[in-house]
Structure 1
Amino acid sequence: MAAIVVLAVLASVAVAFGLAEVARERASIARVLQLQTIEEQALIGYAEDAGTFAYNDFRPTWNAPSALAFAALGQRDTAPSILRVRPLALEGQIYENEQTNPELALPGRFDLAFVAIYLAPLVLVVLLHDLWSGEREAGRLGALRALPGSGSRVFMPRVLVRAVLVGVALLIPFAVGATLEAVPPAKALLFAGAIAGLVMFWTLLVVLVARFGSRSTVNAATLAGLWFTFTLVGPAAANLIVNAAVPAPEGARLARENRDAVHGAWDLPRQATLDRFLVLYPEWSDTEPMTAPFHWKWYFAFQHLGDVAVSDLSASYRQGVERRERLAGTAGWLMPPVGFQRIMHRLAETDVEAQLAYQNRVREFHAQLRTFYYPYLFEDRPFGADDYALGPRFDVRSSGPLKPDSGPSQPHNQP
């Protein structure tokens, strides 16, 4: 009972930490959106042309935590939940926002998924490893086996009661958190099913070793080795193998090469740079040629060309991450605890797939934002507060960002 109480307390603390973390993230998002109005008013009072507006137009995008995120925080401890972007080169803006200290992030967050994956199996080992060997060492096993139906009447009730209590110690705190977060019943049941499946897997494994093992100490050592393999060594080895099999560029490299391409454009012939951009956007080919040393259209043209310069590298990065994720899913079939963990993170929308989906929404929004300004920049249209109000706004309720109801038409041949 002491072990069950300790597990229930740890699960409750993990749920409380998870609820506090998602509340902090939501408060941060709300605060950014509140301050955004103040910043926009300041920009309207300061900027006088489209280029100045565009250069200073930081617009927030956000990846709000799902209702289940409190139970399995996943990638949310390292991936940004808020990203303010402007119509400049995007790749640097995405990857330069990864500011988390990797050593501090290595242990991960203490959430319910952590308790279920790492701590609950240890409790099951403590409760069940000596179920048969303890009776043998006490000299009672022979007498118990002599009883009719000794397995079903003596040992199976012990297994079932202890396994059920472990599940209850995990599921009651989860039920409280799910109620507070108003988790949809179907998702809550699926997540509870993942926890129950994990408990069942470890119960069967521990009972198998305990039933056919010899001494209690040997059983405990064997199960500790299996726990170490399934939860630490196996996943770490699989991660190393997957990373070696599927090379992918780093985000820091993308940001550096993107910045080098943008900065290098200052030393290139201006009209030649503008001509390269017009090949991609021929609808602006009738724009006036460059005569002055500086023009906003040239500046935003080479900003986009900086993204084009690393587009292949960016695609390789995303494809590499996706391939690694698929291979990691295969490892989940070989190591069930890893598979259950991936199920939890997928249900909570805190896995790599969810983060890549957020980045795709940011890219779509950024494309809308910069092309919104192009007619004003390339046709030298006047730009004021009324025009600024027509700009696109990020909205997570739709499959992508909202498009302005009216305003300049968007080009259809974006690369």
Structure 2
Amino acid sequence: MYPAVVNSLGTELTTDINANAPQIDVVNASVLPPAPNLMTIGNDETAETVRYTVINGNRLTVERGFQGVAKSWSAGTKVARYFTAYDHDTFRENIIEHIGSMTAHDAAAITNSDTTSFPGLAKVSDVLAYLKSLANNLKSKVAGAIGAPLTATDTADQMESKINTIKSTAANNLNAKGVTASASETLTSLVNKIAQIIRGSGNAQSGDVLAPKTFTNDSGVQQQGTMPNLTGTRTATGVAKWPDGALAVYPEKGYQKGGAGDGELKVSPAQLQQAEPNLQPQNIPDGMSMFGVKGTKPSGKRRASGTVISSIASESFTVFGGVGSKNFNTITVPISSIGFVPTTIQVYVNGYPTLSTSYDPRGFANGEPTAYVSDNTYKLGANGYVNGSGFRLPVTNSNSAMEWIAYE
């Protein structure tokens, strides 16, 4: 049999030839299979099949009339390696010959030549039966050892795919538990890494555990605490006063062991004054100290005085013990100008000895503060006051300089 060429590529004669020409020149001999081979001249029922034995450039040495009748051909005639009657007949003869010799090719008829590897097995069929039994037994043992999803009826490829799926699942589960693993590892390596899993349970979070201690919770993943460990003397972050007057202290967020030297909370004088505004030097006797605030209050009763401009706008004050009200201008003096909460206050028009307003303890009737102004006693009400922030009293003159004297 001679080899063929894909798609039966062809070429053409370059010169005329007669029926006896032993050599043929073609345009492109490279499209033909290597010699020896067959070539058909023409492409109809008059075609001639030749056998060429040598290719020299584009010149072929040929055996004319290999099939068909040798005859003259003109330049330009198509030539190619077509499928021929010779090819078909050769196929047929080979098939008939093979069928006739099948009995001789039967494995039961072939003697085993490798008795070292397969002792006691006389024929190739015996070797094949042994190998099949060995493979089935091996698959059964592997499937039995590993279990589902492997089965004894799986092919080798199916077993490989299922085992790789098991390894991939195992690697993913290990990684989810914080153990680095890959499906490319051996099954033994993945199994051994199970011992590295740190198990845990609980609902604690990082902020609930003292830093830098480690813990696990329901996630099963080791974590590190972030709660600050506060040691030594700590400064309060803020203070306030409870409704009953008790002091409220706000510590830092974190863990404090407590006890002397390891957990005291330091509250500064400024923080105490924030909680209790009356904790001021002027309210503490001179020579004394209270929570770090040194007193400046002199001994005995104190006196303060000053000048202030009265308001332009007037406010309404109600007559005490009677009916009706009257509008007065007012003066306002802050506690910082006094230094104490006064019990007696007198107000004069600047430059005149005329008394405008008088306020003293006798002005309290039934616990309600009053002031004597001009010709009557008036309630201070919502428009006047005398307290820790200073005082505000009615006066007789508008937008005028008013002298005041306050006594403790």
Q: Decide: shared fold, TM above 0.5.
A: no
Structure of higher RCO (CA pairs closer than 8 Å, 6+ residues apart):
1
Give 1 or 2 for the bigger CA radius of gyration: 2
TM-score normalised by L of structure 1? 0.17
TM-score normalised by L of structure 2? 0.17
Structure with bigger strand share is 2
Structure with bigger helix share is 1
